[in-house]
Every structure is written in structure tokens, then in C-alpha cells.
Amino acid sequence: MATEPQTAAGQRPVEVLAAKLKRRQVVGSRQTALETALVLRQVVSKARFQNITQLVEIIRSVGRKLIEAQPKEHTVGNTARRLLHHVREEYNNASKGEDTACATEFSIANFVLQGQPRRQAAELKAESTLVLKENDSDDPDSFARTLKPVVMEAIQDILDELETVYDNIAKSAKDHIHSERVLSFFLFWSYSKSNAGWVSLSEIILTIGRSKTVETYLKSAAHYHKFTVIVAESGPSYGGHDMARSLSSSGISTFLVPDSSIYALMSRVSKVILGAHAILTNGGMFAVTGSLLTATAARAHSTTVMVCAGQFKLTPLWNLYHEYGALDFDDPSGVLGFEEGDLVDKVDVVNPYYDYVRPELVDVYVTNDGDHPPPSMYRLIKESYDDEDNEL
């Protein structure tokens, strides 16, 4: 119907973002999520629809296009899914009269049958004043007119969440990181003569590469405690350098080490804090390359591994097939530059963006929605998205 040309007109921002994603001009899970939410807002604000199916289809098609442009940026799809979830929720609330039949009575049988635990089910907005008239032939826009503000509000919520995600995650920082004072003895007598006494043995935290989430988390913890951060540089991007510079500039005692010394230093590390690119349904995650190595080394030393990540990184995906991380490769020049001349055409160079970290290597996910162990990621994802959106 009329929706066809209308959506086409609203396609421009979508095309622009898709191109940017393809060229990796927009990278990073939060940035892509933000951009996606903004594009969705533009599209929805211009879109014309008469019923919920059409609205859902509009959002889905945007999500599909963007995912197609860059399948490895999982937060694009997540944002679309999140919005769909909100839209359906609002719709269900408004048209409560019709399908309120959905059981509110809790039992194991219901839990299994329903398959869709809805957290918000409890807090149904009683004062839902929306009166939705779907497919009203007299006034085709009435449905859109009533639902649009609500949808816009939902998008704004998503944007707000993305804006505040770092601070919300960092809230728990002071509880997880601590510093203690202990009496330290030095074996070496002549040395200890001058230095014996109470020495602050602060916590030593290891992280790899650069994650804005981890950065904010550590900076927030630094307000309360004194601790030391070891940053592995994560070649060949060497994002650890930016991270180390940023942490040290806010007064945190920082050590920058090459990736090769992760194992050597791990025996003195009290916590490993990693960032994530995407958290998968099984509790595993995609994260910057080197994360697998770090997490495995931490496991070998029984060191706690914490992952700081926003809820928007929850991705309804399983990784059953590849240790290979996200199967996404960067250009090889960072590893073996053209200055190596004759070597370049003789050897293969592997330079992946991400590692896949298995759930058993992670102890806890610190999200803006609280701390969760890997096995409950499944539940969180079920709560955040609707099953039918797993494939957009």
C-alpha cells in the first residue's frame, strides 16, 4: 500500500549507515548501536503504517539491511531487536483487552510452555491510555499517530541507556575492586630494615586492549581505591597504548606490557577485567583478539575473569562452530607491513579482529543490569528480545 514509497523515502539514512558500516567508518559496539538507534528514529518518525505488522516489518527491514552491511557488528541487530521488543510490549499493553488471556499464573508448566519470561509482565502499565485503531479505513494514520510517540519514547529509552551505559556498569566498580593494607615481610634483611612496615598491597588488575567500558569502570573504581592496572597492548592494533595512556592520565598506576608477558605476570594478577564485543546466548563472548589467551592464562592461574559489558551487547547467537572468534579479519599490514617486501607475497598472514571466549573462561559479566554469571545470559537474552526476532 502507501507504505511502500514511504519506506523508500525513509531509506536514505539507512543506506548511509549501511555504507559506513561496510567501510568500517563506524566501528565499536556502542557506536554502531547508537547510530542504529538514531537511524531507526528517523525511519520510524517518517514511516507510515496502519497496523503493528507493518511497523514491525519496517523496523525489521532496517535491521536486516544494516546487518547485511556488517554482520559482525552484532549490536546493530540487537538494537533493532530491542526496539521490536519494546514496540510489541507497548502494543500488547495498549491492546490488553484482547489478549490479556496470557497466563499470569506462575507454574513450571507455564514457564516451560510460554518460553518467554517477561520481566515487564509484572509492571504492566495500568494507566495505558492508548486506544489503538488498527487498519482504520477512515483514518489510516490514526494507528501510527497514537503509537508513534510511544515508539519514539522507546527509542529514546534505548538511546538513554546507551548514553549512560558506562556509568551504570561502573556503579559496582568499588565493590569488586578493593585495596587492602597488609604487613609485608621482606626476606631480605638489609632491605627490609629501611622498608619494613605497613605496605599497601593494592590489587593488580590485568586488562587487554582498549575497551571504553573497562576504562570507565576502572576510572570509577579509582575514586574509591588505589590499585594497579597492567594493560596488555593487544597487537597488532595496540589499543592497549591508548588505554594505558588514558588510565594513567587519571592517576591510576599503570603498566603497559606486551602480549607475550601475560602468562609471566598472571601469577601476580588478582583480577582480569575484559571488555566484550558481543555476549552470546551460551554465555560465551566475542572480544578483542588476545582475550581468549588472557582468559585462558587467567584460568590456568585460577584468576578471576570479569567482563564489563553493556546490555546492548547481548546477542541471541550461538557460537558452536568456531574457535575462530567472529571470523572477521583485519588487513594484514599491521602484522607484516609492506616494508617486509619480498616476504609479503610468500606467506599467509592472519589478523583477526575478535576472539571467541568460551563461557567457562568467564566468571562474571558486569552489566548495567547487574552482575550475572555466564549461564544466566540465556535468560537475560530471553527477557530482552522476542524469540521471533532472532532472525530479523
Partner 1 sequence: MTRTIVMSSISHRHFRAPSQTDGTGQNDPPTAGAAQKPQKQLTKAERRELQERQRAAKAAQTGSSTVKQPRPTAPASSHPKKGGKGSEGPVQGRGSPSTGPSGPPNKSTKESKPTAATAAEEAAGRSRGLRIFSHFALQKSVGHVAKGDVHPAIVRLGLMFAEFKICGANARSIATLSVFKRVIQDYTTPANNTLSRHLMTHLSVQISHLVSARPMSVTMGNAIRQLKLEISGSDIDLPEQDAKDALCGKIDNYIRDRIIIADQVIQETAMKKIHDGDVVLTYARSSIVQKVLLEAWAGGTQFSVIVVDSRPMLEGKRLLSTLAAAAIPCTYLLLPALGCVISEVSIVLVGAHSIHSNGAIFSRAGTALVAMMAKQHSVPVVVCCETYKFSEGVRLDSFTKNELAPPGDPFSSFPRNRSPGSLVIQNQPNLEILNPLYDLTPPSSITAVVTEAGVIPPDAISSIPLALGRLV
The grid cell for 75 is 549490536
Length of the chain in terms of residues written = 392
The reply on whether position 149 binds partner 1 by CB under 8 A is no
End-to-end CA distance of the chain: 22
Nearer to partner 1, 47 or 298 (CB): 298
For the bound state, the minimum distance from the C-beta of residue 67 to partner 1, rounded and expressed in Å, comes to 23
Q: Which residues contact 189 (CB under 8 A, 6 or more apart)?
A: none
> Hey, which residues between 83 and 112 contact partner 1 (CB under 8 A)?
none
Please count the other Cβ atoms lying within 10 Å of the Cβ belonging to residue 304. 16
Amino acid identity at 346: K
Q: Are 70 and 79 in contact (CB under 8 A)?
A: no
Interface pick for partner 1 out of 5, 22, 249, 318 (rule CB under 8 A): 249
> Angle at CA 364, nearest 5°, toward 316 and 230?
115
Interface pick for partner 1 out of 337, 379, 387, 391 (rule CB under 8 A): 337
Nearer to partner 1, 37 or 279 (CB): 279
For the bound state, the minimum distance from the C-beta of residue 266 to partner 1, rounded and expressed in Å, comes to 9
Interface pick for partner 1 out of 51, 228, 270, 390 (rule CB under 8 A): 228
The reply on whether position 196 binds partner 1 by CB under 8 A is no
Four-residue CA torsion sign, 110, 115, 118, 121: negative
For the bound state, the minimum distance from the C-beta of residue 23 to partner 1, rounded and expressed in Å, comes to 17
**Region binding partner 1 by CB under 8 A among candidate stretches 12-20, 131-139, 153-161, 334-342:** 334-342
Nearer to partner 1, 137 or 190 (CB): 190
Q: Which residues contact 55 (CB under 8 A, 6 or more apart)?
A: 44, 47, 49, 87, 144, 147, 151
Produce one character per residue of 346-362: b if its CB has 16 or more CB atoms within 10 Å, e if not. Answer: eeeeebebbbbbbbebb
Please tell me the count of residues contacting partner 1 according to CB under 8 A. Answer: 68
For the bound state, the minimum distance from the C-beta of residue 344 to partner 1, rounded and expressed in Å, comes to 10
The reply on whether position 179 binds partner 1 by CB under 8 A is no
* 165, containing H or E segment: helix 142-170
Q: Are 17 and 27 in contact (CB under 8 A)?
A: no
CA of 244: how far to CAs of 218, 235, 309, in Å?
11, 14, 19
**Region binding partner 1 by CB under 8 A among candidate stretches 131-139, 231-239, 276-284, 312-320:** 231-239
Concatenating the DSSP letter of every residue in 260-273 gives GGHHHHHTT-SEEE
The reply on whether position 27 binds partner 1 by CB under 8 A is no
For the bound state, the minimum distance from the C-beta of residue 223 to partner 1, rounded and expressed in Å, comes to 15
Nearer to partner 1, 156 or 200 (CB): 200
Can you say how many angstroms the Cα of residue 19 is from the centroid of all Cα atoms in its chain? 22
Nearer to partner 1, 129 or 194 (CB): 194
For the bound state, the minimum distance from the C-beta of residue 220 to partner 1, rounded and expressed in Å, comes to 17
Q: What x/- string results for residues 251 through 290 when contact with partner 1 is judged by CB under 8 A?
A: xxxxxxxxxxxxxxx-xx-------------------xxx
In the complex, the residues that contact partner 1 under the rule CB under 8 A are: 186-188, 190-191, 199, 204, 208, 228, 230, 233-236, 238, 241-242, 244-245, 247-249, 251-265, 267-268, 288-290, 292-293, 296-297, 300, 323-325, 333-337, 339-340, 342-343, 346-352, 355-356
